[in-house]
A and B are shown apart, each in its own frame.
Chain A
């Protein structure tokens, strides 16, 4: 939308956040407004910067594991996975097969939980309160499942270099299968017919916040944001790790680039994750859950990179070692940071209600941006 250039006195600055219901955490957006139109939006970061990368340099390799979950607390197991992956690769540890399967099963369960929570929070941004409780009902089942195996409900510290810390039992397997059936039954009824087909929802997110594929590439967007803009990229398929190549699943891609496309990508991903879990449970091999790993990891000097697909996109770890017992440098490439950076450009000229709907559709987890 082309706005006439406004004189300074005719616009005003509105601070959305760091305490605002729609910014989910401590993101602050400095918005210059002309009436209800946004002339300029400027995200201000750093309110929950906790120096995680520096912390990684202070302790030994295993000591950083719990911190990973504190960054993306909604898909904590994927961050566990990312850190373990880079550590395993660097130290040349062969993860046992059963552990790989358990990792994928739990990560995918966690991904569903993350998407469900996003869905709930997004609908809350749009003013629909009821879907939140339906999604939390299902998310609760996942948390119960994961709690029994991992010992925690949100910030997991479940993976270890070379495997996982606790084996899954038959009860977990049968309960997970029950959950898959339950969610498959509930998805069309409580999610799609109540919400996806709702005329108000469609009017609010269809054609709103359009991101072009070119913009996605320019800002390095990944995950559902990029896939909603027609970029067929998923680390699980295109830079395969763990046992993903052995599993049969699709990458949902939508070309529209609007908030609806991102919404649909995530909803389809829930179904794909269910498929992945089902197959992994079928193929689950017996065996040890931990490889032989030295008590203190001390990889040779050098550098290693590994990426995983979190619920928000491609998460990269670059690990620099100098042969010491602690990492010399650990750099994270977090998907949300890149996804948020395109916000300012796209939000220009939109109305405030649409800007916040668009912001919600990006699925931001602020600690992961600030780290």
Chain B
């Protein structure tokens, strides 16, 4: 159908940009509406039907504001950081298989590719905070770095567990391996008794993905009651807007990854709808859970967050890896 590689690339480029942009804009709307439901109020309802044009209004407002570059700021890095922040999420979307034949780029090590770029996200936060020359921003960057370092390890250990089961680090292969009903999904996998331990891996991975995307209750980097706005303190206008958009795109990537690794990707428990539809359902259910958690729990402290990773998550994911390796080897 799309034999021409240039046409193929262009279509996917536009498609993914639209997907990322719309998600960033409308997840803010979903978050505000979701928060409003949880808090027994209505949320945005003035701009457009049910406030659906609110993201547009917010975007316009941000764009018309001045991008303030204060004195004592490393101007080049200060401007570069929010643009770079968008990069990892956007690039990661390219290798995610949304359906059996809906993937921009099929790569042999796509899972590893996403993790490599996810580490860049932390670098952008560090860059933005450092360039700001603000004490709150620097504390926040330091927190972000130690947090991301701590949570990447259990995440990668969990990924290895999945790789052991699927025998591949290709996201498409991993998803294909889980086709054929609910009990083929890695989370509920009956074959090889993986159902016994995979829920631990799932919980670890889900918590880590919340922590990696700096979401409450692990939003220590932008803890507004301690660090004002953390690394975003000095940012105004679209500089701030881009950081926010990057956060939401990272959430989408995290949810996509969880869907593929544990919930069978586009696989459907009942054969009633096309695969991409199921993919979207699982992904948005996960995102809804993330929103739900944010508006229910208070924030933890940074040292408890790190303790949770080093003393609980890493040992558990290591044990889980060993058990899974045993199951794969002997069953």
Contacts and interface: CB of A to CB of B under 8 A. Distances in A.
Contacts of A22: 225-226
A133 B135 contact: no
Nearest to A22: B225
Contacts of A126: 225, 298-299
B18 interface: no
Contacts of A356: 225-226
Interface stretch (B36-44, B90-98, B270-278): B36-44
B300 to A, nearest CB: 6
Interface residues of B, number: 27
Given A14-B135, A353-B302, A127 B223 contact: yes
B166 to A, nearest CB: 34
Contacts of A353: 220, 223, 226, 301-302
A201 interface: yes
B302 A21 contact: no
A133 B38 CA distance: 10
B329 interface: no
B304 to A, nearest CB: 6
B119 to A, nearest CB: 23
**SS of B interface (majority):** loop
A287 to B, nearest CB: 41
Given A36-B139, A127-B219, A133-B39, A21 B224 contact: yes
Given A127-B216, A127-B223, A20 B297 contact: no
A133 B40 contact: yes
A200 B210 CA distance: 15
B35 interface: yes
Interface in A17-31: 20-22
Contacts of A351: 301-303
Contacts of B219: 127
B301 A12 contact: no
B228 interface: yes
B41 A128 contact: no
Given A12-B135, A36-B139, A204 B226 contact: no
A124 B225 contact: yes
Contacts of A354: 301
Contacts of A203: 300-301, 304
Taking each of B39, B40, B220, which has the highest tally of chain A beta carbons within 10 Å of its own beta carbon?
B39
Contact of A204 (B35, B135, B295, B300): B300
Contacts of A128: 296-299
B301 A204 contact: yes
Nearest to A359: B225
Contacts of B264: none
Contacts of A127: 216-217, 219, 223-225, 298-299
A123 B300 CA distance: 12
Interface string B25-41: 00000000001001111
Nearest to A20: B228
Interface in A189-240: 194-195, 198, 200-201, 203-204
B217 A200 contact: yes
B302 A36 contact: yes
14 contacts: A36-B139, A127-B223, A127-B224, A127-B298, A128-B296, A128-B299, A130-B38, A133-B39, A134-B39, A137-B40, A195-B298, A198-B297, A201-B298, A351-B302
Closest 9 CB pairs of A and B: A127-B299, A128-B298, A126-B298, A133-B39, A22-B225, A353-B301, A125-B225, A127-B298, A130-B295
